Structure 1
Amino acid sequence: MSPLPEKPLILIDGSSYLFRAYHALPPLETTRGQATGAIKGVINMVRSLIKEYPDSPIAVVFDAKGKTFRNDIYKDYKAHRPPMPDDLRSQIEPIHEIIKAMGLPLIVVPGVEADDVIGTLARQATELKRDTLISTGDKDLAQLVNEHITLLNTMNKEVLDIEGVKTKFGLTPEQIIDYLGLMGDKSDNIPGVPSVGPKTAVKWLAEYGTAEVLIEHADDIKGKVGEKLREHIEQLRMSCELATIKLDVELDVGPNELVHSPVDKEALLSWFLTLEFRTWVKELEAEGVKAEALQVEGEPASVEGADSIDESNESEAFPQPENIEYQTILNSDQFESLLSEIKKTDRLAIALETDGAQFMLAQIVGLSLSVKPGQASYIPLGHVYEGSPEQLNIDDVLKALQPVLEDESIFKAGHDLKYMSHVLANVGIKLAGRRFDTMLQSYVLNSVAHKHTLAKLTSTYLQEDKHLLEELLGKGRNKLTYAEVEIEKASAYSAQNADFTFRLQQGLAVKLKQTGELADIYQYKEIALLPSLYTMEQQGIRVDVFSLAQQSEELGLRLDELEQEAYTLAGEEFNLASPAQLQKIFYEKLNYPVIKKTKGGQPSTAEPILQELALDYPLPKLLLEYRTLSKLKSTYTDKLPQDVNPQTGRIHSTFQQAVAATGRLSSTDPNLQNIPIRTEEGRRIRKAFIAEEGKILMAADYSQVELRIMAHLSGDEGLRTAFQEGLDVHRATAAEIFDVSLDQVNNDQRRSAKAINFGLIYGMSAFGLAKQLGIGRHEAQEYVERYFHRYPGVRDYMEDTRQVANEQGYVETLFGRRLYLPDIHASNGMLRKAAERTAINAPMQGTAADIIKRAMIDIQHWLDIAGLDARLLLQVHDELVFEVRESDLALLSEGVEFRMASAAALDVPLIVDIGSGANWDEAH
């Protein structure tokens, strides 16, 4: 391969890189929700070319909006392309404006594509004997390559000159058009010749040279592919024409006029501030450039008004230190110096590194501390590998740090402080002081914007790359424990964690204060909830492993029976878990009707399909039972005994605060929130959750809390009256929509009313209601219309909520928690409708989450001082589970009911159902 030219004309295929950057790079966005991933990717590429070719003229070419001359040739050209995603479209204008501010010519020509403009300029440059370097990832441009034109893929550094094209495609550049014409292009909807792929195209062109010569010898091509060729000769000619890059576009400039303008550094800085590209902001500010952020025109409407933060203070909110000073503490002098510095501070960021075990068993390998932006110290305490240096004694270090970590006057910042509290508790340290948890700060600011990992927060708010744990530990058989990581690498990783946490907590705290009631949600709900969750996780819950083992054995026997019954019904043995084999049995052997196909075009065997088939056929019904029991066995009866902590004999689940979009808690390792309660097998699993000797379990469950919240939020008098008078709300609703008295409501009417009550708050349509109730769509629609006629306040609330969601891009709970709706303005109708349904339900789910969190905080505080022998063990949806000495049951029941019922002042009463028993099922 020949060397690249020294000072070529550089033509950048902007459209190619726009889409590649969008799909290949992480989906970055600003704190206001403006997508920036593609912008950063494209501009990074342009900057790298400027740096590599400082003396070369550079122009950037983009496709224009609208159709091109190729649509006149073939009306279906690019017809199957989906519309550009909204979050990509919003990035085009900023890219164009930044390129102009960089002083580069930006070329957009209507009626043709970027390829045609690039081809024309490259041809003109060749005629002037000038070398051209085309920066692109588009294979179509390989047809332009000659002794003066070379392609460079900036993303993977691939270079295509004449020899490069031959090596990559097995063809000359002159044959690329016919190659593309033969194969066609699905993305552009160029039809090509059916059944012809790359191998066939290369083979034919190697033998015949061109498509026209191939056409002349079409009768010589044997087999079905020959028939296809002969049937589609005109289509082949048209496809070649579509694939041909136009080389005579009328342009206002030629190669010699593509000169750089002066860089508008103020405009660049304004854009970089607006888009929160902080590294580039620092570069320009270091040169003395000053500017203010812009309001991006065309910024997604879904974020309008979503954040009241003064972004001009963003740089101050998130400190950007001039120097980074990380150190590794390996001797007592260094440690004493660090300890002296820490004792002078009132704010400390902590990063704990452990052996990765479950929080009750985790061992500290090292820790990092930071007391100011850009500075952090890593103290290795348990690294063991060949050649590892001597480290400070872990007991001595922790004993010296204990007074600081337990000092109430020192603010503690960390990412997932609950986990840190557990790990420190394992060594006898009780983390104290006001807490700043960056994970929870991010979650409260916007629960759905992105994952709330430290790495994601670092890239989003600090615009810096963080070392990743996976990079340190590796994968597969050679994966290391943290103790086996070299101290130098571990130090760089952990010190970053502490430093970035320190910087993030300061900026996120500012943002919370400037955004509605979110600072209160964070401080008085999420942070205040930590002691309750910590106690629940520490306490855990006992399980009867022998009962689970017995049930697992019984389930195994029943599964074996079901397998044999399935073989009999199918007339052969097959794998009940194999969709491919089920398809063959169902649709080829037993000739079941095909209700729905998969994306790949195969008849579906998904659960909804089995449920429909089960109405008429025995095998699908049997398979549904098999799948249900198999999941119970693998997920619960087999797995739960393995989750028992060997030291405590209890299961210690983790309750996640920063996962569910609505503010609800989720349970992991293991998940205790999805154990079924409507089947006998599910209830048997709950029976295996037992109280310790001398105690019983008590369950307290909110009754119909989301419907009660709907009554409050909507203000509907009929719904409020039903709850205020203590009526059976489903029976009352049935009486309203069926126009009968309460005592005349039958069970079927009550069942329909219940489906409507719950279905509507989850956005169920008349079609969905019809399916659930097994009635006609017209009849279901009549039910819905009667419901809204009787409860007009509910309809008004739904319409008002949709309007609010569309106007501001989010809805709020009763307490001010914001629930953002990124798809509320999506061009895809299904996504938009789903977002509208979420907008209606989210305030109810979110308010229910806020209410039970308030109750948990109050109950935990009461338990801490009441002197009862009682502990909160679990939170499952709207239910709290306690373990209590039987003599204290009455006091616990009274105190819990009072605090749960008074957790929110609604216009309707909050009702709490309480039960108790030796196991969870009895208590429910």
Structure 2
Amino acid sequence: MSDKLMLLVDGSSYLYRAFHAMPDLRSPEGFPTGAIHGFVAMMNWLRDRFPAEHAVCVFDAKGPTFRDAWYPEYKAQRAPMPDALREQIEPIHEVVRLLGWPVLEVPGIEADDAIGTLARVAAQSGHQVLISTGDKDLAQLVTDKVTLMNTMAKPPERLDIEGVKAKFGVPPERIIDYLTLIGDTVDNVPGVEKVGPKTAAKWIADYGSLDGVVAAADSIKGVAGENLRKALDWLPMGRKLITVVTDCELAPHVEGWPGLDALALRPADEAGLLGFYKRYGFRTWLRELEAKAGAGAADGAPSTEATETTAAALAITLAREYETVSTWPQFEAWLAQIQAAPLVALDTETDSLDGMRARIVGLSFATEPGRAAYIPLAHSYADAPEQLPLEEVLARLRPWLEDATRPKVGQNIKYDLHVFANHGITVAGYRHDTMLQSYVLEAHKPHGLESLAERHLGRKGLSYEEVCGKGVNQIPFAQVDVARATTYSGEDSEMTLHVHQTLWPEVEKDAGLRFVYEQIELPVSVVLERIERHGVLIAPTVLAAQSHALGERLLALEQEAYNIAGQPFNMGSPKQIGEILFTKLGLPVKKKTATGAPSTDEEVLQELAADYPLPAKILEHRSLAKLKGTYTDKLPLMVNPATGRVHTNYAQAVAVTGRLSSNDPNLQNIPIRTPEGRRVREAFIAPPGHVLMSADYSQIELRIMAHISEDPALLRAFAEGLDVHRATAAEVFGVPVAEVSSEQRRYAKVINFGLIYGMGAFGLASNLGIEQKAAKDYIDRYFARFAGVKRYMDETRISAKTKGYVETVFGRRLWLPEINSGNGPRKAGAERQAINAPMQGTAADLIKLAMIAVQQALDAEGRATRMVMQVHDELVLEVPEAELAWAREAIPRLMAGVAQLKVPLLAEVGVGPNWDQAH
């Protein structure tokens, strides 16, 4: 196929897709480069995967086309092209030519028509044609010689004749009929009103074609039939607009046309690309070209602001050598290698995903990309080869593993720290974690090794499912064939090292990112492992009593609900609840589900509960049932029998703000707004001779707002130790602080926290239960008194739109992919995030710095106090009674001292025999 292949790239389709798929990357001079980056990567990927003699990248030319003459409203609703994309068009044309691709623009016609014409001529000349596009309209061109490929779908989507049938429900020769019926909102081509893909495909199947549907229009019943009859006069024009023209005159625009040699794919202009990559800051591609030219590394070369690429961006071919270590001489040879290596990637294969319980099945090491060793230690299938003894191998590795001067890199090192600890080994010397490098660089992207390797290296390794199977057929790793395990684990190690070599330079060159990585994320991962490992003590008898009480209350609520409804019903069934509320009792329908049924979601029930008793009973039942099932019933079952404690997992690389996420169990989401929820914390207890201490940052996000905005009134309130909500109320309501009423303080508190989260007048009115105009007046008064806050918000929105991200005080980047979205609600949501994220992210940084500082102090002084939980802005510690006086003084001092902001940090502590009393 490659001997007779024509590649046609729908450049206009990919312009927008590349622009919106990539983060807002910038050259060192601030020029937008995201679309260029995505475009180059896609073109390289295509050329690598589909060797062809002939190819062309086709773009829409400026100016109107013949379709505009046919229908003046054609594409009339399209928003103007974003300036940041318009600026990148000429550089994209330039680099595509430098990459060896012919570029074609034909005035007066669309890129689709040029592609259709090229495809027809190429197919008639005996070529197979591959069209790279994301445009569904081009599915009408598919034949046995023409195929579509959407390279920006994940995974890339290929549509041949059968693929078109499977995707659209009609064959390629009926795509025009199908699209005419459903219309094309992107191009402002109306179809038949309320006729969607399923109806269109069914009609074409029933009547054979659009002409058959039109002929049968009088017999088609219902609203769809009525709408079809209304559209009959329009449909011929709709079909004309949607039909791709395949006989356009290209000769004036393609020298030598119609001979296909005019569109030969040429070698890349490497000298030109060197200059281009330097100009726009594409450091990785520049380094590859210079290495190829023998020029060495591009020291000091400019770079983009992020390392995001598609699969082709860093694709390389490695000679891969993975050795199975099954003899002592092999082991000794590898031990010597890792002892001498400047950095070693280390990976464990285990029998469990639960780090606290996992035992080692095998280990792998890599000292360079492409080369690794796997030591099988506990494979137990029939006829498994002889393996080195696990305990002796670990004993010989222990000095290297526990040596802090031996640099190591891993992927999710916290898990491996647990695994080795299960075998009595405390690993030291972890200098890098590729998961955390990715998290610091691009928190909004996936951070698994498979995703990182594909995204940054263009490599796809074996997945766990490929090795162990899925679902009920999945086997434990101990039953995996040793040779297969060697490939899988060796690949994990050397790909980790390879990813590190790509990501670390990007982190290293930015002072803020480097601080967040080296001084926050890496050290806190070790602290988290210790917190998780120690666990927290719970009282199962207390939870059992709470479960019993909750069970009785749930039964009582059910009976009360049945009495109001006049009949029993399933309180867990939205359908039955809907029938009772809206059919039997006639309550007003507030909104509907996607299927048209009245919604019974929490928002609807909350609104109805203000006026009707039954929705309130249902809400209370839901809340208590969730509390019982999630916590009072489940927590005792999660006690580790070996420790007698509950051990949560703190996911470090999940929340884009930098916040930790607790799971299995989730200790950060215990509901505390109800007495029953707060009571759950009574079950978290201190062991004999100890107390629990809660240390909580006071009003941390408002303090951060004062620091970032430098608003004089806020700075003064915190500097003087005033009640900030009372001080805000005094400013907003124009009264002395001493005369602020409790109601005014409540309003001010809602305003303070609401504005931090980007709340507008509508949201504030809803929260306070007041008119929207009154809420707007309060906001206007607030901004008049706190002009620094208003200035911060305005400047942050502008900066976020320019950069594509905002930053914490410490330099953590909080990416906002939707900040320049054409979708109004998404853009508004991103603007609210832009205002709040620096405060949430800085608060996350501060609590992590506090954990590190507290742990360092505990270690330095040899204290027996232990951190047992981290929840939002709070640390919970288990303190021996003999250390209580020290902890009361030292912990808040350490927390307040982790950073010097323009306002004082304040941590408040409470002490008690259980978490509830300590809080």
Considering the TM-score relative to the shorter chain, is it more than 0.5? yes
Question: 1:99, CA displacement in angstroms?
Answer: 4.4
Aligned to 1:880: 875
Pair 1:664-2:667 in alignment: no
Q: List per-residue Cα deviations over 1:872-912 (Å, max 9, x = no partner).
A: 11111111111122232122211212212322233433322
Partner residue of 1:333 out of 324, 329, 338: 329
Aligned to 2:232: 233
Separation (CA, whole Å) in 2 of partners of 1:781 and 1:145: 56
Secondary structure at the counterpart of residue 911 of structure 2: strand
Question: 1:371, CA displacement in angstroms?
Answer: 2.5
Pair 1:505-2:500 in alignment: yes
Q: List per-residue Cα deviations over 1:134-173 (Å, max 9, x = no partner).
A: 4347776676689xx8322456666559xx9999999998
Secondary structure at the counterpart of residue 378 of structure 2: coil
Question: 1:788, CA displacement in angstroms?
Answer: 2.4
> 1:14·1:42 contact (CA, 8 Å) conserved in 2?
no
Partner residue of 1:522 out of 493, 517, 522: 517
Aligned to 1:300: none
- Residues 1:202 and 1:80: Cα distance change in structure 2 (over 3 Å): farther
Pair 1:697-2:698 in alignment: no
Separation (CA, whole Å) in 2 of partners of 1:150 and 1:583: 54
Question: 1:281, CA displacement in angstroms?
Answer: 8.2
The TM-score normalised by the length of structure 1 is: 0.85
Secondary structure at the counterpart of residue 34 of structure 2: coil
Q: Which amino acid aligns with 1:456?
A: S
Question: 1:293, CA displacement in angstroms?
Answer: 12
Secondary structure at the counterpart of residue 207 of structure 2: helix
Separation (CA, whole Å) in 2 of partners of 1:911 and 1:78: 57
Secondary structure at the counterpart of residue 511 of structure 2: coil
Pair 1:263-2:267 in alignment: yes
Pair 1:198-2:197 in alignment: no
Question: 1:226, CA displacement in angstroms?
Answer: 6.8
Aligned to 1:301: none
Q: Which amino acid aligns with 1:50?
A: P
Partner residue of 2:893 out of 882, 894, 898: 898
Q: Which amino acid aligns with 2:34?
A: Q
> 1:29·1:460 contact (CA, 8 Å) conserved in 2?
no
Separation (CA, whole Å) in 2 of partners of 1:678 and 1:536: 26
Aligned to 1:250: 249
Separation (CA, whole Å) in 2 of partners of 1:125 and 1:438: 46
Deviates more, 1:104-113 or 1:720-729: 104-113
Deviates more, 1:462-471 or 1:872-881: 462-471
Partner residue of 1:560 out of 548, 555, 559: 555
Aligned to 2:677: 682
Secondary structure at the counterpart of residue 519 of structure 1: helix
- Residues 1:421 and 1:798: Cα distance change in structure 2 (over 3 Å): same
- Residues 1:798 and 1:386: Cα distance change in structure 2 (over 3 Å): same
> 2:10·2:112 contact (CA, 8 Å) conserved in 1?
no
Q: Which amino acid aligns with 1:44?
A: W
Aligned to 2:152: none
> 1:874·1:880 contact (CA, 8 Å) conserved in 2?
yes
Alignment of 1:163-178 (within 5 A): 177-178=176-177
Question: 1:690, CA displacement in angstroms?
Answer: 0.8
Question: 1:392, CA displacement in angstroms?
Answer: 0.9
Alignment of 1:726-875 (within 5 A): 726-875=721-870
Deviates more, 1:791-800 or 1:228-237: 228-237
Separation (CA, whole Å) in 1 of partners of 2:559 and 2:213: 59
Q: Which amino acid aligns with 1:431?
A: V
The TM-score normalised by the length of structure 2 is: 0.86
Q: List per-residue Cα deviations over 1:321-369 (Å, max 9, x = no partner).
A: 9643321111222112112222333432211111124211110111111
Pair 1:483-2:478 in alignment: yes
Question: 1:680, CA displacement in angstroms?
Answer: 0.7
Partner residue of 1:634 out of 604, 621, 629: 629
Separation (CA, whole Å) in 2 of partners of 1:883 and 1:178: 71
Partner residue of 2:702 out of 707, 715, 718: 707
Question: 1:922, CA displacement in angstroms?
Answer: 0.6
Question: 1:240, CA displacement in angstroms?
Answer: 3.1
Alignment of 1:19-418 (within 5 A): 34=34, 40-41=41-42, 43-51=44-52, 54=53, 57-64=54-61, 68-74=65-71, 77=74, 96-97=93-94, 99-121=96-118, 130-131=125-126, 133-136=128-131, 150-154=145-149, 159-160=160-161, 177-178=176-177, 181=180, 189-192=189-192, 197-205=200-208, 211=211, 230-251=229-250, 252=252, 253=254, 254-256=257-259, 258-260=262-264, 262-266=266-270, 267=272, 286=292, 306=305, 323-418=319-414
Aligned to 2:153: none
- Residues 1:823 and 1:595: Cα distance change in structure 2 (over 3 Å): same
Q: List per-residue Cα deviations over 1:33-57 (Å, max 9, x = no partner).
A: 8365665445534554434xx4xx4
* Number of equivalences: 891
Q: List per-residue Cα deviations over 1:538-578 (Å, max 9, x = no partner).
A: 11001111222232233233333333433443445444344
Q: Which amino acid aligns with 1:794?
A: V
Separation (CA, whole Å) in 1 of partners of 2:421 and 2:344: 18
- Residues 1:113 and 1:573: Cα distance change in structure 2 (over 3 Å): farther
- Residues 1:171 and 1:892: Cα distance change in structure 2 (over 3 Å): closer
> 2:365·2:374 contact (CA, 8 Å) conserved in 1?
yes
Q: List per-residue Cα deviations over 1:237-294 (Å, max 9, x = no partner).
A: 3333334333443332442263426433314577789797979986996587999899
> 2:8·2:130 contact (CA, 8 Å) conserved in 1?
yes
Separation (CA, whole Å) in 2 of partners of 1:326 and 1:451: 27
- Residues 1:432 and 1:827: Cα distance change in structure 2 (over 3 Å): same
Aligned to 1:299: none
Question: 1:420, CA displacement in angstroms?
Answer: 1.5
Secondary structure at the counterpart of residue 145 of structure 2: strand
Separation (CA, whole Å) in 2 of partners of 1:29 and 1:809: 5
Give unmatched runs, 5+ long, in structure 1: 297-303
- Residues 1:800 and 1:9: Cα distance change in structure 2 (over 3 Å): closer
Secondary structure at the counterpart of residue 558 of structure 1: helix
- Residues 1:579 and 1:270: Cα distance change in structure 2 (over 3 Å): farther
Separation (CA, whole Å) in 2 of partners of 1:152 and 1:525: 50
> 1:28·1:37 contact (CA, 8 Å) conserved in 2?
no
> 1:272·1:281 contact (CA, 8 Å) conserved in 2?
no
Deviates more, 1:616-625 or 1:106-115: 106-115
Separation (CA, whole Å) in 2 of partners of 1:884 and 1:439: 33
Deviates more, 1:517-526 or 1:60-69: 60-69
RMSD after superposition: 4.2
Give unmatched runs, 5+ long, in structure 2: 28-32, 150-155
Separation (CA, whole Å) in 1 of partners of 2:724 and 2:868: 31
Separation (CA, whole Å) in 1 of partners of 2:259 and 2:48: 22
- Residues 1:901 and 1:245: Cα distance change in structure 2 (over 3 Å): closer
Secondary structure at the counterpart of residue 683 of structure 1: helix
Question: 1:869, CA displacement in angstroms?
Answer: 3.4
- Residues 1:447 and 1:230: Cα distance change in structure 2 (over 3 Å): closer
Aligned to 2:450: 455
Q: Which amino acid aligns with 1:835?
A: A
Q: Which amino acid aligns with 2:461?
A: K
> 2:10·2:115 contact (CA, 8 Å) conserved in 1?
no
> 1:120·1:248 contact (CA, 8 Å) conserved in 2?
yes
Q: List per-residue Cα deviations over 1:784-811 (Å, max 9, x = no partner).
A: 2222233333323333433443444443
Alignment of 1:603-618 (within 5 A): 603-618=598-613
> 2:283·2:298 contact (CA, 8 Å) conserved in 1?
no
